[in-house]
Every structure is written in C-alpha cells, then in structure tokens.
C-alpha cells in the first residue's frame, strides 16, 4: 500500500511537467483542440484531496475547480450522465430510469455532434446502461467493460493510436464499492485512490500521444452518496466535483458560480468548436467562457433555483430502480423505515426521513 501510494504521488507531481512537454510538441505538429471528459461514478466532492486522490487534486490545483457543483434530481447514474453528455436538464432530456434501456437517447449528445462534424470520438464506459448514450456510429472506438483496469488499458491504447478528438471515460468505481461497503468507508476511499491512479495513466497516455497540451480535461461525477445509497436529496449526494485543466486555464482558478453537471457537454462543445442545440436552439449548460462568470446573469435565476432542488420531487421515487421492489407480480414502494435501514443510514444518520438529518 505504501509503495503504491508513493507511485501515485510521483505521477501526480510529474503531471504538470508532462503536460507542458506534450504541449510544446503538440503545438508544433497538431494544434487542434481536443477534449477528454472523465466521469467518476459515485465520487463525492469532498473525496478529492491530496491524501485520497493526489493525481486529481494536483490537476485541480493546476487548473480550475468549482466551489460547488450539483447533479440533477434524481441523483442516479443514467439520468445524470444523460445531462452530462446532452447539456440538458432532466426535465428536458426526459431520461428518468436508471437501468439498461433499449435503443438510444432521443436527443443529440456531444458524441453525435462531434461525429457529424468529422471528429473522432472514443467512448469508454464501465456500466452497460451508459451504452444508451452513445450510438455505435458516433464513435470510432466504443468500449464497455466492467473492469476499470482493463477499460483504462483500452482507452490508453486508443488515445495513442486512434488520433481521438473527444474521449469520454467513465469509472464505475467508487460507486460499486459505495453500494457494497458504504460511502466514505475504508474500502470506498481505497477504490477512489485506485481510480485516481488509473486516471493518472490516462493523462500520461495523452502526453505520450503528444496531445496533452492541446487537450481540455473535464472531470466530474454523477452523484455522491451516504451509507450505501444515493437516493436522497442531501448535500453529500448532490455535490460533485467539477474540474477543468488544459490550455487557456490558468492554475489555481476557482469557479465561484455554482456549476451543474449539464455544463460538461456545453464546455466540451465550445472547446471543440461545435454547436450543440436542443430542438428550441438552446442548452441548459454553459459554454467555456461563461463557467468563469462570477455571478448568475438575470435570466438564469430559474435555472439556479432548479439546480438547488431544495425539496426532493416525490415523483421520481417511482422511477428509481433502487426504490422499487417487484414482488409476486406487483410493484410496491418499500416503506421509508425499511429503505432507511437497507441503505445503512440508520447507523450513520440516526432518525427517520422527514426529520432534519442533513449534514
């Protein structure tokens, strides 16, 4: 363990120099802009520290990090990844279920728009349900594997050989460990550290390919968690990291304005020179320059209120597969008390839902 942490810290310390060298080489041979969008499934914002995730913490220190970023309600994987790659809030893209769905999402994603404009897309996901968000024809490499190490190796090989303009990489951990052992458990934190090391390997692959300096790296997540669940509208579930690193971003910047997971697609499209639109010609996400705005423009107050989501909409409870239990041919919602115990929250946050148990 000590040797592995030492290796991770060495990688973290070397990343700024590695990216600077690759920037010099790439600017002379291939100056076009590229983007790598990375999602850590189930990563709480407060886990990104020098002790637990030194590679990611160092990247944030040498780039820009949001003071606060919120996911969408319901705070589940497929719903938030749909927002992440379309730039639309859940009320507009309409994806409400968190399970493998037939076909593909109806709205255009960043992958569709990039492919339509002749860009080369690499899609690497650790959960099969995310395949719903990327059509095979929209990616030159489309890999879905449950093993993070194998998935990272496939992504490294593609980065170095496929001349990709847009890379999407999804780490299925630490979510899997959170559900099994609990968020913030020793096992969960160890999983976060292991994913951090694999993330460092992806960044090194960009450098080896000579495109590190041309690549905007966007790092975010879909949700956090508490106990063994992420079903509740509480800060440790809603708050996620949002980090930008790459050309045009000075080290040590803080995004003071509250960010949202929907900004990821808009920022990526802006950097790639793409125009992403919904049917009415607008996105909910903000493009690259706007994410640095110090305050909300007058027209964005409604979006801010929606992002705050102070009261959890009760309607989505019936759509979340973690809360619906099919028994003897009929579907019923578990009583709150049973859900509370099943999630392990009775030990971490005494009291029942309905009382104020927010941190």
Average pLDDT over the chain, rounded to an integer? 81
pLDDT at 359 over 80: no
Model confidence at 149, in pLDDT bands (50, 70, 90)?
very high
Question: Domain spans of the chain?
Answer: 2-308, 323-348
Asked whether the whole model's pTM tops 0.75, one would answer: yes
pLDDT at 156 over 90: yes
Model confidence at 268, in pLDDT bands (50, 70, 90)?
very high
* Three-state secondary structure of the chain: CHHHHHHHHHHHHHHHHHHHHHHHHHHHHCCCCEEEEEEECCCCHHHCCCCCCHHHHHHHHCCEEECCEECCCCCCHHHHHHHHHHCCCHHHHCCCCCCCCCCCCCCCCHHHHHHHCCCCEEEEECCHHHHHHCCHHHCCEEEECCCHHHHHHHHHHHHHHCCCCEEEEEECCCHHHHHHHCCCCHHHHHHHHHHHHHHHHHHHHHHHCCCHHHEEEEEEECCCCECCECCCCCHHHHECCEEEECCCCCCCEEECCCEECCHHHHHHHHHHCCCCCCCCCCCCCCCCHHHHCCCCCHHHHHHHHHHHCCCCCHHHHHCCCCCEEEECCEEEECCHHHHHHHCCHHHHCCCCECECCCC
Instruction: Render pLDDT for 311-337 as a digit per residue (tens, 0 to 9).
Output: 344 334 433 433 333 333 333 434 444
CATH architecture of the domain formed by 2-308: 3-Layer(aba) Sandwich (3.40)
pLDDT at 7: 53
Model confidence at 10, in pLDDT bands (50, 70, 90)?
low
Instruction: Render pLDDT for 231-267 as a digit per residue (tens, 0 to 9).
Output: 999 999 999 999 999 998 989 999 888 899 999 999 9
């Amino acid at each position: 363990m000590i040797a592995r942490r030492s290796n991770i810290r060495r990688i973290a310390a070397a990343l700024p120099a590695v990216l600077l060298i690759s920037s010099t080489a790439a600017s002379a041979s291939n100056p076009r802009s590229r983007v790598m969008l990375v999602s850590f499934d189930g990563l709480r914002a407060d886990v990104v520290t020098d002790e637990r995730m030194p590679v990611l913490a160092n990247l944030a220190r040498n780039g820009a990090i949001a003071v606060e970023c919120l996911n969408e309600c319901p705070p589940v994987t497929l719903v938030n990844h749909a927002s992440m790659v379309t730039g639309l809030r859940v009320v507009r893209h309409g994806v409400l279920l968190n399970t493998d769905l037939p076909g593909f999402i109806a709205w255009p994603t960043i992958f569709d728009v990039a492919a339509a404009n002749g860009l080369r897309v690499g899609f690497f996901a650790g959960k099969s349900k995310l395949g719903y968000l990327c059509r095979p024809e929209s990616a030159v490499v489309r890999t879905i594997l449950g093993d993070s190490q194998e998935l990272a190796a496939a992504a490294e090989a593609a980065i170095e050989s496929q001349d990709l303009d847009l890379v999407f990489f999804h780490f299925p951990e630490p979510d899997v460990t959170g559900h099994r052992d609990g968020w913030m458990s020793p096992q969960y934190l160890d999983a976060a550290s292991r994913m951090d090391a694999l993330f460092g390997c992806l960044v090194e692959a960009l450098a080896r390919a000579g495109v590190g300096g041309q690549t905007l790296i966007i790092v975010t997540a879909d949700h956090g968690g508490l106990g063994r669940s992420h079903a509740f509208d509480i800060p440790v579930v809603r708050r996620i990291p949002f980090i930008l690193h790459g050309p045009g971003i000075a080290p040590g910047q803080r995004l003071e304005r509250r960010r949202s997971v929907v900004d990821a697609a808009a920022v990526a499209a802006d950097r790639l020179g793409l125009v992403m639109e919904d049917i009415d010609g607008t996105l909910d996400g903000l493009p690259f320059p706007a994410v640095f705005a110090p305050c909300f423009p007058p027209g964005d107050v409604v979006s801010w209120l929606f992002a705050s989501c102070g009261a959890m909409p009760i309607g989505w409870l019936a759509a979340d597969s973690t809360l619906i239990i099919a028994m003897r041919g009929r579907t019923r919602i578990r009583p709150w008390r049973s859900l509370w115990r099943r999630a392990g929250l009775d030990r971490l946050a005494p009291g029942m839902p309905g009382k104020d148990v927010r941190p």
